[in-house]
A and B are shown apart, each in its own frame.
Chain A
Amino acid sequence: MMFKKKMLVSVIAVWAVLCIAQAAPAAPPAGFDDNEIRIGQWGPQTGPAAPWGSVARGSKLLFDIVNEEGGINGRKIKYFIRDDMYNPAQTVGVVKELVERQGVFAFVGGVGAACGMAVKDYLAANKIPWVGPSAADQDFIQPLNPYLFAVYPLYRDEANVLAQYIVEKLNMKKVGMLYQNDAYGKDGLEGAKERLATYKMSLVAEIPVEPTEKDLASQILRLKNSGAEAVLMFVNPTAAVIALKTAANVGFKPQWISSNTLSDYPLMFKISGGLWEGVITGAFGEIPDSTHPLMVKYREAAKRLNPQERWGTFYSAGILFADPLVEALKKAGRNLSTEAVMKALNSIKDYQTIGPKINWTEKQHQGTDSVMIQKCGPNASYIQLQGWTTNDLATWKKK
């Protein structure tokens, strides 16, 4: 009996392997036909990063609007969302499935720098354009990856602009920094130091945090005793909440300034028990209740097409990451090909929807160096402090 069971299991296993092996074709199927263009996105719909899953759903809203308006040059967009649970190993799996089974023409968005890193070379090797990764990473743009088009401002640029704001607008001289001990946090640290150096200033404290750390008492005390008036945070939402709660516990009340990754005020306000009020953040898009005509249009469409979704920063980010691809598909015309779309993407100049102005050339695929600056008001409301601000020190532009 036992033996038979084992036999059965091994037969099934071998058979499954054979099936998968057979199913992998030599060349991936084409990404479009006469009636549809297939576009994919990965993003955490479950798991610890699920709150960022709304990016992928935001892109869906844009494609639904495009289809409702008749599609692009006679073709409708067929859009696939795959849940990778913010796990790079799973990202590889879902991306391969989309490319090799479904036949995908291009990818948009995609949350997580590590997830993106895991598939960027695979996508380039298969000549699949990837527009608007929902993460910033120097490695996405340097050296140039011909198939990768970045919209998201680099953390280094953002920290630069935020530091400038602290010194010039808030008139604060003592700036401390709490940064996540990875590429995200360290890029932010570089940017802040770079800007402060132009004022002959330096950070009064540079405190690293591991992403999983749950006790930040010593870090906060260091910041407090450094006399920091402003603390720049490049950390994840949980660490930010712990930092704010711990600071409240020890009577430390600086001006908190954080990167755009924490710009979902309703979420941050809720999970911090209201402590988020007064925090200043960078932003990669218009505030949710903006009167910008496109924002009004998208907001109304969201109410109609996806009423149960919360209209928030990350949902609308999904739109602005995908906007340039739609623009390029339109420009490429009815006679669609990857080359035509690439040409259109490479000639996007001063293109702006609800995010920053995007410029791509054949030599430069970082679309922008600009962020907005916003502040969390009472009841998680958004207050815009400063419009699109470029980083005149951006190093990547000089190359």
Chain B
Amino acid sequence: MDHFKVENLSISFGGLKAVNNISFSVEKNSIFSIIGPNGSGKTTIFNMISGIYKPDSGRIICDGENIVGSSPDHVARKGVARTFQNIELFSNATVMDNLLLGRHIHMKTGVFAGAFMWGRGSAAAKEEIANREIVENIIDFLDLQSVRNHYVASLPYGKRKLVELGRALALEPKILLLDEPSAGMNTEEKGDLNIWIKDIQADYQVTILLIEHDMNMIMGISDRIFAMNQGEKIVEGVAAEVQCHPEVIKAYLGEDLSC
């Protein structure tokens, strides 16, 4: 059974083909990067995967099930988590609350039962403790201890990116979509992020789909790379194959890909 696969995915907006007949397959627990110039349709692919856009044609297979046409909340419950280019957080809530919201789909107790933790031994109390433990681990892991009770709106950009990453992790996803996680970060933060993504892959047993512009980062951590331009596939392969492909060089004209 395929772990995660996209088949002949197409979508157009007002006659413009944003994504045209894209197919790829991702191995379990690998890092799969999508690169391409601005407006080449990378984020559109993510939006189709997470159910925000409905593709005109094609299939998205997640653990053998076609998830095309599912609403974003359904996709999330299937185990697909994501971050956004322009950060979508609950800004009037604390870092802790944002991460706890990531546990939403794992809260089993009913609407009201969860409110009243009748005794320490109750199912609701046990669940609450388990959820808190997972969130605490993420806070430690991403080094968010110092801001755990801060309101998100008061945090600097780089920290907010991390909170969003942490919240996606709290879903305990099978597949994690990261849309330009390093954008707006300084070199030091980027270095940390590089390590964290590798650690996430190792510690959380998660398949990562990554959109990035930072070529050093891409080439360093990706298992496979998918290059596209203007909604079309250019090439897919390991780092060495992709960075020397003439069309990739053409698309990134002027950038030194040190081939």
A and B touch in the complex (CB under 8 A): no
Residues of B with Cβ closer than 8 Å to A? none
